[in-house]
Amino acid sequence: MGRERAADRCATVSCMGVDWERYLAAYHGENPGITERVLRQSVHRDHGNPYRWLRAGLPPEPHVVVDAAAGNLPLRPLFADDTAYVGCDLSKSELTLAASQGRMGVVLADINRLPLADECADAALSSMGLMLAVKPQRALDELARVLRPGGTLALLLPAQWPLRPADVPRLASLIWALRGPGSMPNVVGPRRARQMIRKAGLVAPDIQRVRFRFPIASAADAELAVTALYTPGRSERQRDQAVSALERLAPDGELPVPLMRVTARKAAID
């Protein structure tokens, strides 16, 4: 193992005291497709669900699309059938689910080291993936590397706002039950995203934030919402309390899902 990779492993292990590599492998092994189950039900009046919003940030008909940390490839159906679509993920369970759903083009690969040629893609995207990379800048550099000049990048990331006043007590009860919010290895806010885009050599960044709403109509929705959070180190009892707190919102409740979409381009060669 090279010195750089060894350093990456240390960074993974030490990040917030959580061995994220192991946690994410176990979590997605047990819960393949869970992100799609939540995001497909999360809606905004103008944008539809978050996948449709992310898709709208990319050109209408790219020939070659790279999707990094693709999970079970929920974006695949939003592109034409004849698109050359490559979905990279480290979870065999996610990729197996994708294939069983007829979403072809799965590759077992790390977002930090995409096994793809330079400048091969018209569009590169990552939906809810970049903040999971040990070093998000390296992952973004990889996405920039595989983009052809003139190609487009689109990222979907968690955000802290927009929120509505009524969201605050709902989130507070969830956070109280879990003794803290859901965790992520990295936080990528708008300012950091702009810096990273510049460092990766991409241009014309556009950053937007939207509040989607996840309806809590039943106990099953409450269970899904809590299960979909990364909660390393929390006990079963704390998770049960969080589910109970959300169950009280049913049948007409909702949870906010604030998300950030980042798009940018690789400058075309004159």
Check residue 94 for interaction with ligand SAM (CB under 6 A): yes
Check residue 147 for interaction with ligand SAM (CB under 6 A): no
Binding residue for ligand SAM (CB under 6 A) from 49, 91, 241, 263? 91
Check residue 159 for interaction with ligand SAM (CB under 6 A): no
Q: Least separation, in Å, of the C-beta of 6 and ligand SAM?
A: 16
Using alpha carbons, list the distances in angstroms from residue 117 to 121, 124, 162, 230, 238. 9, 13, 38, 32, 45
Check residue 133 for interaction with ligand SAM (CB under 6 A): yes
Q: Are 197 and 262 in contact (CB under 8 A)?
A: yes
Q: Find the binding residues for ligand SAM in span 184-243 (CB under 6 A).
A: none
Binding residue for ligand SAM (CB under 6 A) from 42, 49, 127, 186? 127
HSE value, Cβ hemisphere, 13 Å, CA-based, for 53: 27
Binding residue for ligand SAM (CB under 6 A) from 58, 64, 69, 147? 69
Helix 3-14 with 20-30: angle, nearest 10 deg: 70
Complex with ligand SAM: residue 174 or 249, whichever CB lies closer: 174
Note the helical H segments in the chain.
3-14, 20-30, 34-39, 50-56, 92-100, 136-146, 167-178, 190-199, 219-227, 236-247
Rounded Cα distance, 11 and 49, in Å:
33
Binding residue for ligand SAM (CB under 6 A) from 66, 76, 97, 110? 110
- The contact set with ligand SAM (CB under 6 A) reads 24, 28, 35-36, 69-71, 74, 88-91, 94, 110-112, 127-129, 132-133
